[in-house]
Every structure is written in C-alpha cells, then in structure tokens.
C-alpha cells in the first residue's frame, strides 16, 4: 500500500501544501502574501487572515498537482511551531479537521527541523518534469552526522544533525537573526520587504570592502547581529550628516553606487560572521559535512562562499581537513515551503510518531 502524506506549512507569511508519496515529492504549492510589503514587515493579524483565504485553494492545488485524492492520504503532517501563533493556528486547525474527517493520523513537525529536512527532499520524476529549475540538478543528500547552518528571518543557528529526530543546537544568535539583519538594513535604505533578496541583487554591483561594518566578538559558536545593524545605521546617519541631507535617496544622488556598495559590504560582513563560526564548529567537532538551510540560504553570496569552502585550500600544512563537503538545497526548498515539512513528516510517519488531536501550536521552541 502507498504511503501518501499531505503536509501543511503556515508558520509565517507563506501558505504551503505538499504531497509526498512513498518518500518522493509529488507537489509543493506555495502562496506568498504580498499584503505585508507596504508595512515593511509581516503583520501577524494580516498573515493569519491571508492564510485563511489561501489554505483551501493551496491544499486543493497540492492534491491536484500530485494526482492524489484525499481519501488516499495516509496522514496529515503540519508545522506546529515555532512561528506566529495566529498563522500556525490556521494550518494546525485545518490539518486537525482534515485528519479527523478522514480518520487518519496527524504528524506534527518542528519548522526548524523541517528546514534541515529540506536536504532530504527527493523530487519525483513527475515533479521534476513540471519544475524546469530542478531539471539537470544533481541533488546531493548529506550523510549523517553533519552540521547545518540554519539561517532564516527568525533564526540563526548551527545545528549538529545526528539523525532526523536527533539534532542539537550548538550555537545560535543571542539577539537578531541574519535574515532580520538583512531585512532591517534594507528597510533603512528604503528597499521593499523582505529586503534579503534585494540586498542580494544590489550587492552584485557593489564593492564589498566599501564600508567596514562592525563584527561581533562573541564566545563559542553563538552569533550576534544587533551590533552590525547599529553600525550600518550609524554609517548612514554619519554620511547623511556629512552630506547635509535628510534622506537616503538624497544621499544616493550625491554618492554614486551608494546602495550597491552598502549592500555588498553588509552582505559580505554577514557571510563572514556566519561562516567563521561554522568553520570553527566543524574544526572543533571534526565534522567535515556542512549544510545550509533556511530562507537566507537563498543568498547567492552565501551559496558561493559555501561552495568555496568545498574547494581545496591553498594552505598545504594543516592537521584538520582543509576542505568540506558542502550541501546547498535547491532554491525552491530554501524559503518556507511544505515539501520540507512533508519530508520530516514522512520520516515521523514511518516511526509511527503521531501527535494527539489536542496538540496546540507553539510560538517558540528549540529543536
């Protein structure tokens, strides 16, 4: 008998549903919410309302694209947390209602573990046929154990992954997340929300050494991005004072390539901060497999820098291995999506790791 799981993700501002059949991804539908753009960040109340509007058509489309009837489903997997409570409630309630009506088990998934499980998504030939961006891509799955740099809008962590259900956070941000630093600095420059992709785009035409921003000095494997954010803000403030202007637009008229250089410098600083700690953790723990996950892993500079880690080092004398095996998920599985929830849910289903019908969503948690 086939094992077919419908997964639902609604932790923030993307409503997504996916179907996985016998471990192969059949569909992954994502409805992003444009309503937040004008506010420069996600408005929780608007997010939950948009989830309510989107969830039925998104689930319907996921089943349709997979060629699956709901009566053939073996279980419903859903993101239980962490995330925005109002958003999570929509997906959780929908999953419970559907599971109850179909008399099938519920599987809860931790959103952060889901991001890491994006590395194990195995698209079916049918799915690849309808997703040209996946065609010709060699998807490599990391062998256990490995380190995962988990970087999103709400989290920046280094996770030691020993099994899909055995993960340990060995370092994390003590204040802002890397994605938050991208988004908040973008907002200061007057760029739309979410700012990460805009910074990525502009950074390509900028000078990464134009502005020397502050880097944190935090012990162990933890991160901090609030000092960088302040340093970015003060740099702009001082430039505006020096040029006697009140807006970034006016400043950009006086300084050629201003936004591009700011973006390139900020992006390089964030990547340096992220990778320095990952390399330290890999060296200390003797783990040479490094993966990256979460929305910020869509960043082209970070992806390039990760790939460079896997190149042979020019240094000949070293005791530790100089190169790493690097794993970067396909773009479509980096930002919030239900395919990763389906993958995590599939493993839990095989373990009969079901959740009770009264399981409430949670806003915060560790892995």
The footprint of ligand KG4 (CB under 6 A) covers 12, 152-154, 179, 182-183, 194-197, 200, 294-296, 298-299, 335-336
267 token code pair? 């992006």
CB nearer to ligand KG4: give 123 or 194: 194
* Smallest distance, ligand KG4 to C-beta of residue 27, A: 19
CB nearer to ligand KG4: give 46 or 285: 46
Half-sphere exposure of 124 (CA within 13 A, CB side): 18
CB nearer to ligand KG4: give 12 or 161: 12
205 token code pair? 């035409």
Specify the DSSP element, H or E, that contains 140: none
CB nearer to ligand KG4: give 20 or 42: 42
* Smallest distance, ligand KG4 to C-beta of residue 312, A: 27
CB nearer to ligand KG4: give 186 or 251: 186
What is the DSSP track for 230-294?
HHHHHHHHHHHHHTT-SSHHHHHHHSTTHHHHHHHHHHHHHHHHHHHHHHHHHHHHT--EEEEES
Rounded Cα distance, 133 and 30, in Å:
16
CB nearer to ligand KG4: give 82 or 105: 82
* Smallest distance, ligand KG4 to C-beta of residue 183, A: 5
* Smallest distance, ligand KG4 to C-beta of residue 332, A: 12
Rounded Cα distance, 181 and 173, in Å:
11
Half-sphere exposure of 248 (CA within 13 A, CB side): 17
* Smallest distance, ligand KG4 to C-beta of residue 229, A: 13
Rounded Cα distance, 163 and 311, in Å:
27
* Smallest distance, ligand KG4 to C-beta of residue 102, A: 28
Reported in sequence order, the residue ranges of the chain that DSSP labels E, i.e. its strands, are 4-9, 14-21, 24-32, 75-81, 106-110, 146-151, 156-163, 166-172, 289-293, 325-327
Exposed / middle / buried, residue 115 (Cβ in 10 Å: 0-12, 13-18, 19+): buried
* Smallest distance, ligand KG4 to C-beta of residue 219, A: 26
CB nearer to ligand KG4: give 4 or 18: 18
């Amino acid at each position: 008998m086939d094992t077919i799981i419908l997964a639902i993700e609604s932790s923030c501002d993307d409503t997504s549903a996916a179907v996985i059949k016998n471990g192969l991804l059949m569909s992954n539908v994502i409805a992003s919410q444009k309503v937040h753009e004008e506010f420069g960040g996600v408005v929780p109340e608007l997010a939950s309302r948009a989830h309510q509007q989107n969830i039925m058509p998104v689930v319907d489309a996921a089943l349709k694209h997979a060629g699956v009837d709901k009566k053939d489903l073996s279980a419903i997997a859903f993101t239980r947390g962490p995330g925005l409570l109002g958003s999570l409630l929509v997906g959780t309630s929908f999953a419970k209602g559907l599971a109850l009506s179909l008399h099938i088990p519920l599987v809860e998934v931790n959103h952060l573990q889901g991001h890491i499980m994006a590395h194990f998504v195995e698209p079916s030939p049918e799915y690849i046929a309808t997703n040209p961006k996946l065609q010709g891509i060699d998807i490599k799955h990391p062998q256990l154990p490995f380190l995962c740099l988990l970087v999103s809008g709400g989290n920046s962590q280094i996770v030691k992954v020993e099994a899909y259900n055995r993960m340990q956070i060995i370092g994390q941000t003590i204040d802002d997340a890397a994605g938050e630093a991208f988004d908040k600095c973008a907002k200061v420059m007057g760029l739309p929300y979410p700012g990460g992709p805009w910074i990525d785009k502009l950074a390509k035409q900028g000078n990464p050494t134009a502005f020397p921003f502050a880097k944190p000095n935090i012990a162990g494997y933890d991160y901090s991005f609030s000092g960088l954010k302040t340093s970015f803000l003060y740099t702009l403030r001082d430039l505006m004072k020096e040029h006697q202007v009140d807006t970034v637009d006016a400043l950009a008229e006086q300084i050629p390539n201003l936004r591009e250089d700011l973006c390139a410098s900020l992006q390089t600083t964030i990547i340096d901060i992220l990778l320095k700690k990952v390399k330290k953790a890999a060296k200390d723990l003797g783990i040479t497999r490094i993966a990256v996950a979460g929305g910020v892993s869509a960043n082209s500079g970070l992806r390039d820098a990760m790939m460079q880690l896997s190149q042979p080092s020019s240094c000949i004398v070293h005791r530790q291995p100089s190169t790493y095996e690097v794993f970067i998920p396909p773009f479509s599985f980096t930002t919030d999506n239900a395919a990763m929830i389906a993958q995590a849910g599939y493993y839990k289903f095989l373990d009969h790791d079901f959740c009770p019908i009264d399981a409430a969503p949670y806003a915060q948690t560790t892995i």
